[in-house]
Amino acid sequence: MHRLVVLVVPVFALLMACEFAWGWLRRRNSYRFGDTLGSLSQGLLSQALAVCTQLFQIGLYAMVYPLVAVWTRPDFWDGAIGWIVAVLLFDFFDYWLHRAGHESAVFWAAHSVHHQSQHFNFSTALRQESTVAFLGWAFYLPMAVVGVPPEQFGLAGLIVLVYQFWIHTEHIGKLGWFDRVFSSPSNHRVHHAVNDGYLDRNYGGMLVVWDRLFGTFAEEKEPCVYGTRKALASFDPVRAILGPYLPLLRDAWHTRRWRDKAAVWFKPPGWRPADVAARFPDAPFSMEEARQLHGPALTRVQAASASVHFASWVGVTLAFLWRADDLAFHTGLALLALAVGGFWTLGAVLDAKLRLRWAWGAQLALLALSAWLLT
């Protein structure tokens, strides 16, 4: 599975290049240098972490499957109808996980990484979450009960995930009847927007039919403003992944009632106990502030350095994924830690918070250690 990811990377890169060229020719460019590298860094880190968290990615499903599976007929699941059923089931349960990702604070803390970009393009599609697997694996266990084999479960998930790549673009308008049935660029732009009328809408991965059935559909009617209502305002990948949990930890620690200490995690995002809300008030959401794009001005040397650092870590991460099945678990963990350090250093350069001589020193050391572990 990890090697399949490596093989599709050139396809994603080509499609991003085509989208960028189309936007540039039409003077509607939707890419920015720092944001694109930040989003792609998150995608690479999520894949590196997946190597080290196979238990949650598919392992628990495979463990439960032989104990609970009801319909285990290979002649059905190997056929066309079986594959269609498996993909539809995955998309259905993915809708509920995705919905939980917006309606429960702890799930939103994990999922919000995907929404932090203030732009909407193919690189945003690759800005995948790193910690959702720790929380979301249980949502798919009904598929094991039905009898979907583990290998088919994994491939069905990959199909649903890959489908969603093309719907992250501003260059495809409304598609008529297609928008009423399937997730489409128009429908998904709504999902990524922070506009009042668009919040918590259009969760479907492949089908928007689920949203129409369960009352979470909204049609695109006004220009979208992208990002999260509490803007990340940083290209630091560690802050992006762990930062959303910190307000929950703070509120759970400071609130007096034990019931509220638990409720902080499971109430909708933005809900806060009255005592901590009064003690640590949040600034109100401002659409004007949401329209202000983060991205410090970089010198040519800084931009060139960031490009070299990013390209180096693309190579290391893809090599890691290609060899993942042959590496010891502790080696995988070490490579993951080095990648986190490398992408953190890249983010510090993009945020203009780290001098280049220190960034180059750190990157050369981290890359050298990675090369040694991969040999």
Q: What is the pLDDT of residues 97-127, one digit of tens each?
A: 999 999 999 999 999 999 999 999 999 999 9
Prediction pTM value: 0.94
Q: Which two tokens stand for residue 311?
A: 């390209």
Looking at residue 19, its pLDDT comes to 98
Of 82, 66, 118, the closest CA to residue 234 belongs to: 118
Q: Give me the count of residues in the chain.
A: 375
Distance, CA of 155 to CA of 57 (rounded, Å):
12
Distance, CA of 49 to CA of 244 (rounded, Å):
18
Looking at residue 55, its pLDDT comes to 83
- Residues in the chain predicted with pLDDT less than 50, given as ranges, are none
* Cβ neighbour number for residue 337 with a 10 Å cutoff: 15
Looking at residue 211, its pLDDT comes to 98
Looking at residue 238, its pLDDT comes to 95
Distance, CA of 150 to CA of 63 (rounded, Å):
9
Amino acid identity, position 83: W
Q: Which two tokens stand for residue 244?
A: 């959303």
Contact criterion met (CB below 8 Å) for 40 and 310: yes
